[in-house]
Amino acid sequence: MKEYKTITRIEGPLVFVAKTEPIGYGEIAKIRLPNGEIKNGQVLDTSDDIVVVQVFEGTRGIDKNATIKFLGDTIKLAVSEDMLGRILDGKGEPLDNGPSIIPEKKMEIIGAAINPYARDSPGDFIQTGISTIDAMNTLVRGQKLPIFSGSGLPHNEIALQIARQAKVLGMKEKFVVVFAAMGITNEEAQHFIRDFEQTGAIERSVVFLNLADDPAVERLITPRMALTTAEYFAYDKDMHVLVILTDLTNYCESLREIGSAREEIPGRRGYPGYMYTDLATIYERAGIIKGRKGSITQFPILTMVGDDITHPIADLTGYITEGQIVLSRELHTKGFYPPVDVLPSLSRLMNLGIGKQKTREDHKQVSDQCYAGYAEGRDLRGLVAIVGEDALSDKDKRLLKFAEAFEKEFVTQGKHEDRDISRTLDLAWELLGMLHKEDLTRISPELKNKYYKARWLDAPLSEESKEAGKKEAVGKEESRTKVSVRKPLQGMDEEDTKE
């Protein structure tokens, strides 16, 4: 294999090499620095004149005297069952002082797309033990359901809780967890690992760590390493795999960094135009294949920049994934855990995983009714802030109380509280009991007769709820994206809330 000494230009994470023999697109390269250090890279652009290599460890220390060698192959990951229980770096090298992994086989990390015809339809309910997810945004095996979070919100806690509690009803086997950290802090990583170790989960986990101080370019391969591992366990070893990817925002930042170093024409907010396709090659690796026993379920986590759900990263993700779990800063500030805002949250595959044989006959209708009731209740808070509680009709007062109780009793639960699905649905019925039977327009009469128990008391509202309502009203005016049907007229609104 030839070593070239023809580096002509070094810029950002890229090295330009002139006058080589034909080099394949996507080939791996090894760069030897004058001091003996070795760095790894991958070919981004190749032509007769010049080859562009992106260097995973960063270009610090590389000069024109460095030599470069092309290995004639694309990036592959050595996989084996021994990976379970191991902690690896973002390139797949052991970090835990353990022996290196003896490969059973080597797999291409750029996974091929699953033939849509070979996919099996997901439909197995995964119980996470979290009410807002199980009842309102049900996860099924083979789905990709991201958590849309914000900086400072407890998304890691929730991801851990899901990893601990996730199970398919009636099945003993636990999920294999593949965890890929991209650009998260050492502290966060420690937190994850400690939790895995304490609960014993580490034994059925593979951890890939690319931390905040690791090179950004490496971040681009970390999720692919993780998913390749997941595919190996799912499709070769018949296991059910849960993949947690955190934080996709850091991944996209890296993508932008490389894009701008290559002087590409940027798309929205400077992110490359191919970000949609690129993200799809990550997310679409979730699924089930006909005739194979294993499955891959994905839980990507991303922090929304400025809590803005229309930011390109969240936006493109939402278009690829099958729904999203949105965390709310407001609920978090109020001290509710997990602060899942069910209104913008969604699981697209929910209908495939619920119902009589799968969860319970009333699941769909209860979930719809809770959505509707909570949405109306939240809207009413804005109204209360303006006209006062007395101007409300009795029904509106009931809805207001319902929304309050929904947040306090249904959304809120302990970090180690594992609610099974029937407990969750019973709890929902308890809360729906605060509404009159005829208020429940989304539930069929038969189900109401079977489950409904009136629990409605003629109690006045707490001060807290009024306060919350004011906040909501003010928030609404500031927020551009929230368009309410009951839009308060401007001006009037301001005056009222100032008092």
Partner 1 sequence: MSKATIIKGEVNKGTASDGTSSDGNPGNREDSKGTISKRTIGKGTIFRVAGPVIEAKNIDAKMYDVVIVGKERLMGEVIRIQEELTTIQVYEDTSNIKPGEDVEVTGMPLSVELGPGLLSSIYDGIQRPLPVLRDQMGDFIKRGVQAPGLDHKKKWEFKAAAKKGDEVKGGAVIGTVEEMPGIVHKIMVKPDVHGKIESIKSGSFTVDEAVGELEDGTELKLFHQWPVRIPRPVAKKLMPETPLVTGQRVIDGLFPVAKGGVAAIPGPFGAGKTVSQQQLAKWSDADIIVYIGCGERGNEMTEVLTEFPHLTDPKSGKPLMNRTVLIANTSNMPVAAREASVYTGITIAEYFRDMGYDVALMADSTSRWAEAMREISSRLEEMPGEEGYPAYLSTRLAEFYERAGRVIPLGTDKAGSVTVIGAVSPPGGDFSEPVTQGTLRVIKTFWALDAKLAQRRHFPSINWLTSYSLYQDTLSGWFNKEIAPDWSDRVRQMKTLLQEEEKLLEIVQLVGSDALPEKQQITLETARLIREFFLQQNAYHEVDTYCDLKKAYRTMGLILQFGQKAQEALGKGADIQRILGIKTKDRIGEVKFDKNHDALLNLLEAEMRKEFDAVGAE
| Subset of residues 308 to 347 that bind partner 1, contact rule: CB under 8 A | 309-312, 315-316, 318-320, 322-324, 343-344, 346
Span 397-456, contacts to partner 1 by CB under 8 A: 438, 441-442
Shortest distance in whole angstroms from residue 488 CB to partner 1: 5
Closer CB to partner 1, residue 34 or residue 72?
A: 72
Q: How many CB atoms lie within 10 A of CB 47?
A: 11
Whole-number minimum distance, CB 241 to partner 1, in Å? 16
Q: For partner 1, which is the closer residue by CB, 335 or 460? A: 460
The span of 125-133, 205-213, 236-244, 280-288 binding partner 1 (CB under 8 A) equals 280-288
Residues paired with residue 16 on neighbouring β-strands, in sequence order: 9, 52
Tell me whether residue 204 or residue 240 sits nearer to partner 1 (CB atom).
Answer: 240
Please select the residue that binds partner 1; options are 81, 173, 197, 264, rule is CB under 8 A: 264
Our finding on whether 112 is near partner 1 (CB under 8 A) is yes
User: According to the binding rule CB under 8 A, does residue 16 interact with partner 1?
Assistant: no
121 or 186, CB closer to partner 1? 121
Residue listed under structure tokens 């697109």: 25
Q: Are 163 and 131 in contact (CB under 8 A)?
A: no
Q: How far is the CB of 320 from partner 1 (least distance, A)?
A: 6
23 binds partner 1 (CB under 8 A): yes
Of residues 457 through 476, those in contact with partner 1 by CB under 8 A are none
Question: Binding of partner 1 at residue 368 (CB under 8 A)?
Answer: yes
Our finding on whether 19 is near partner 1 (CB under 8 A) is no
Cα-to-chain-centroid distance, residue 120: 22
Question: How many of the chain's residues bind partner 1 (CB under 8 A)?
Answer: 92
For position 273 contacting partner 1 by CB under 8 A, the verdict is yes
Residues 305/309/312/318 CA torsion (nearest 10 deg):
130
d(CA 299, CA 317): 12
Stretch that binds partner 1, among 55-63, 104-112, 166-174, 331-339 (CB under 8 A): 104-112
Q: Which residue has the tokens 């802090």?
A: 185
> Is residue 389 within the footprint of partner 1 (CB under 8 A)?
no
Residue 383 binds partner 1, judged by CB under 8 A: yes
Among 6, 80, 260, 281, binds partner 1 (CB under 8 A): 281
CB 191 to partner 1: min, Å: 31
Residue number with CB closer to partner 1 (205 or 295): 295
At closest approach, how far in Å is the CB of 93 from partner 1?
22
Cβ closer to partner 1: 215 or 287? 287
Residue 392 near partner 1 by CB under 8 A: yes
Give the C-alpha separation, 327 to 231, whole Å: 29
292 binds partner 1 (CB under 8 A): yes
Question: Could you give the CA distance from residue 35 to residue 132 in angstroms, rounded to a whole number?
Answer: 56
Residue 369: both structure tokens together? 């009714």
Segment contacting partner 1 by CB under 8 A, of 87-95, 206-214, 294-302, 479-487: 479-487
Interface residue with partner 1 among 265, 453, 459, 498 (CB under 8 A) is 265
Cβ at position 412, least distance to partner 1 in Å: 21
Q: Are 44 and 54 in contact (CB under 8 A)?
A: yes
In the complex, the smallest distance separating the C-beta of residue 313 from partner 1, rounded to whole angstroms, is 11
Please say whether the beta carbons of 424 and 137 come within 8 A.
no
Of 15, 27, 299, 381, the residue at the interface with partner 1 (CB under 8 A) is: 27
- CA dist 414 and 92 (Å) reads 35
Does 391 contact partner 1 by CB under 8 A?
A: yes
Task: Region of 124 please: left (phi>0), alpha (psi -120 to 50) or beta.
Answer: beta
Select from 142, 139, 127, 135 the least CA-distant residue to 174: 127
- Residue 178: which of 294, 75, 326, 275 has the closest Cα? 294
Minimum CB distance to partner 1 smaller for 78 or for 280: 280
Query: Counting contacts by CB under 8 A, is residue 73 touching partner 1?
Result: yes
Rounded to an integer, what is the distance from CA 216 to the centroid of its chain? 20
Q: How far is the CB of 457 from partner 1 (least distance, A)?
A: 23
Give a three-class secondary structure readout of 208-239. Answer: EEEECCCCCHHHHCHHHHHHHHHHHHHHHCCC
Rounded Cα distance, 275 and 314, in Å: 12
Stretch that binds partner 1, among 3-11, 156-164, 221-229, 261-269 (CB under 8 A): 261-269
Report H helices in 358-462.
Answer: 363-387, 394-405, 421-432, 445-451
Contacts of 452 (CB under 8 A, 6+ apart): 429, 432, 433, 437, 440, 443
Instruction: Judge contact between 250 and 184, C-beta under 8 A.
Output: yes
Of the candidates 213, 145, 142, which has an alpha carbon nearest to the alpha carbon of residue 181? Answer: 213
Q: How far is the CB of 4 from partner 1 (least distance, A)?
A: 15
Regarding 173 and contact with partner 1 (CB under 8 A), the answer is: no
Nearer to partner 1, 51 or 201 (CB): 51
Task: Take residue 45 and report the two structure tokens written for it.
Answer: 């652009």
